[in-house]
Amino acid sequence: MMTSKNIPTIGDQSFEDLKQTNEHDAEYWSARDLQPLLGYSQWRRFEDAVSRAITSCEQTGNNPEHHFAGAGKPIIGGKGAVQTVDDYQLSRFACYLIAQNGDPRKPEIAQAQKYFAIQTRKQELSEQLAADQERLDLRKQTSEEFKSLSGAARQAGVQDKMFGMFHDAGYKGLYGGIGGDAIKTKKNIPVNEQLLDRMNATELAANQFRMTQTRDKLARERTNNQQQAIQTHEAVGKEVRAAIARIGGTPPEQIPPAEHIKEVEKRIKNAVPKMELEEKDAGGLLGGKVNPSTDN
């Protein structure tokens, strides 16, 4: 059973508070209402997550028409003027898919993912596929963290021509003094491949933590000096390395290279699991009026 602490909230309204009922007596949520709950300030960016969720719905063997309905939402502006804006009526399953396809850096998305993972029934993934999905998710998150860290470095005074040295400093701290090119040589990774694409989940997580902590430290200390920013990145890398050593973990330079992430992505794409929904959930916005076994 879900407790109030598990339910995503904004102000004094929770996800369940925003639930409405349509003419089929089926529950639904307004995308415009859900947007701020999931941490999005811009409709355009939230609509991108909705589009990805619709694609995901198709890939998991469910009919998007049963879960996403285009609609208009009246907005009262100045002097009482009413304007109709784009909106969607969303089933509970649609809300789950939007959370799964949202920005993983947003704490609201992380909270919603935990909530809907419990609320939505789905087919169990094989151990291999689950491991593949974990690694792919970590790779995507690390890519976003890399971009965020680059932005933080620029704010901290690192010039574009010094970005290579800045990022290499982080690797040197975490990998015992060797930079990106030397790591590739040690692991026999081709020069033209991205190092992050050949890291397993454990190594990716260590690097993501290094990037996150460096970004936060640069902002917290209001660093505005190129050399100091580079030194900070290396120092944080050393701290993460020391933490790994204290708990008995494997130094990252000793972790064998994993298969290329593109192969993992291809395997997942070719083995998308069906999501088995209860009949009323499969019907989505049409309630119990759809037979999921015959309506595909």
Assess whether 102 and 207 both reside in one domain. Answer: no
Co-location of 102 and 182 in the same domain: no
According to the model, what pLDDT value does residue 110 have?
Answer: 84
pLDDT band at 288 (very low <50, low <70, confident <90, very high): low
In terms of Cα–Cα distance, which of 112, 136, 129, 143 is closest to 49? 112
pLDDT of residue 112: 85
Whether 230 is covered by a domain: the verdict is yes
Burial class of 270 by CB neighbour count within 10 A (0 to 12, 13 to 18, 19+): exposed
pLDDT value of position 56: 87
163 and 196 share one domain: yes
Number of separate domains in the chain: 2
For residue 72, pLDDT beyond 70: no
- Residue 3 falls inside a structural domain: no
| pLDDT per position as a tens digit, 245-272 | 999 999 999 999 999 999 999 888 776 5
Question: Do 232 and 214 share a structural domain?
Answer: yes
3-class DSSP assignment, residue 166: helix
Same domain for 153 and 257, yes or no, is: yes
In a domain, 295, yes or no: no
pLDDT digits (tens, 9 = 90+) for 154-213: 999 999 999 999 999 999 999 999 999 999 999 999 999 999 999 999 999 999 999 999
Does the residue 294 lie in any domain?
Answer: no
Q: How confident is the model at residue 83 (pLDDT cuts 50, 70, 90)?
A: low
**Stretch 137-160: mean pLDDT:** 94
pLDDT at position 287 is 74
- pLDDT confidence bin for 43, thresholds 50/70/90: very high
Residue 115 and residue 70 share a domain: yes
Let me know whether 213 and 282 are in one domain.
Answer: no
Non-local CB neighbours of 1 within 8 Å, separated by 6+ positions:
none
| CA 259/CA 29 separation, integer angstroms | 41
In this structure, what token pair is assigned to residue 282?
A: 């499969």
HSE (side-chain half, CA atoms, 13 Å) at 8: 26
What percent of the chain lies above the pLDDT cut of 90? 57
- Residue 14 has a pLDDT of 82
Residues 214 and 264 in one domain: yes
Report residue 296's pLDDT band, with 50, 70 and 90 as the boundaries: very low
Query: What CA–CA distances, in Å, run from 191 to 152, 175, 184, 186?
Result: 27, 18, 7, 11
To the nearest whole number, what is the mean pLDDT of the chain? 84
Same domain, 68 and 196: no
pLDDT at 86: 84
Confirm if 215 and 152 have CB atoms less than 8 A apart.
yes
58-67, 147-156, 212-221: the lowest-pLDDT one? 58-67
Same domain for 113 and 163? no
Confidence class for position 278, pLDDT limits 50, 70, 90: low
Same-domain check for residues 193 and 262: yes
Clarify whether residues 249 and 230 are in a common domain: yes
Domain of 256?
Answer: 127-269
Proportion of the chain above pLDDT 70, given as a percent: 80
- Position 274 confidence tier, pLDDT thresholds 50, 70, 90: low
- Give yes or no for a contact between 276 and 123, defined as CB atoms under 8 angstroms apart: yes
Q: Is residue 13 part of a domain?
A: yes
Residue 136 parent element (H or E): helix 127-155
In the chain, % helix, strand, coil (3-state, to 5) comes to: 60, 10, 30
